[in-house]
Every structure is written in structure tokens, then in C-alpha cells.
Amino acid sequence: MNKGELVDKIAERANVTKKEADTILTAAIDSIMEAVADREKVTLVGFGTFEARQRQEREGRNPKTGETMTIPASTVPAFSAGKVFKDSVAG
């Protein structure tokens, strides 16, 4: 499912126009991205948690040459699914 299909589903379920659904979805995604970029944790009970996680510096290999190289530490976005979400996927 892509964003357009998700907007269609939201519009249908919430009984709003596609334009309104797109505006709401975009605002929600932007808000989550801003919060995580500011190192805040966003928890949607039942769905999951979005947060920034630290990756430590580590050693890797250049796939072309096989040469060992250092991969610098970084901060990456992460998502942990909530119990209700996990249970619904598991069936």
C-alpha cells in the first residue's frame, strides 16, 4: 500500500474528502518526524513507538575492495510495534 492508497482508505473510513485525509496524514507524519528528529519518543498506544536510536561506531568492510573500514556512529529512526499491532499481524 502506498500513500495514495492509504489516503483513500482514511477518506473512506473517516468519511472525509481525499484532500482532507491527505492533509491530516501529511501533518501526522511530519509531526512524528519532527518529534523523532528532536530526540522525542512518540508512542501510539496499541500501534507502536517511534524513536531515535544511537548506533555505535563499528568496523565494516568495503564490498568492492574487501578493505576494513570504520563506520562512524550515527543516530537513526526506529519503530517498535505495539502489542495490539503484533497480535493483529500474527493472526
Rounded to an integer, what distance in angstroms lies between the CA atom of residue 4 and that of residue 10?
10
Look at residue 91 in the predicted model and tell me its pLDDT.
86
In DSSP terms, 49 is beta-bridged to: 43, 80
24: which residues sit within 8 A by CB, 6+ positions away? 10, 16
Say whether pTM exceeds 0.75: yes
How far is residue 61's CA from residue 71's CA, in Å, rounded to a whole number? 9
Q: Going by CATH, does the domain composed of 41-91 fall within 3.20.20.140?
A: no
Q: What are phi and psi of 75, to 5 degrees?
A: -110, 130
* Residue ranges per structural domain of the chain: 1-38, 41-91
pLDDT in tens, the chain (91 residues): 999 999 999 999 999 999 999 999 999 999 999 999 999 999 999 999 999 999 999 999 999 999 999 999 999 999 999 999 999 999 8
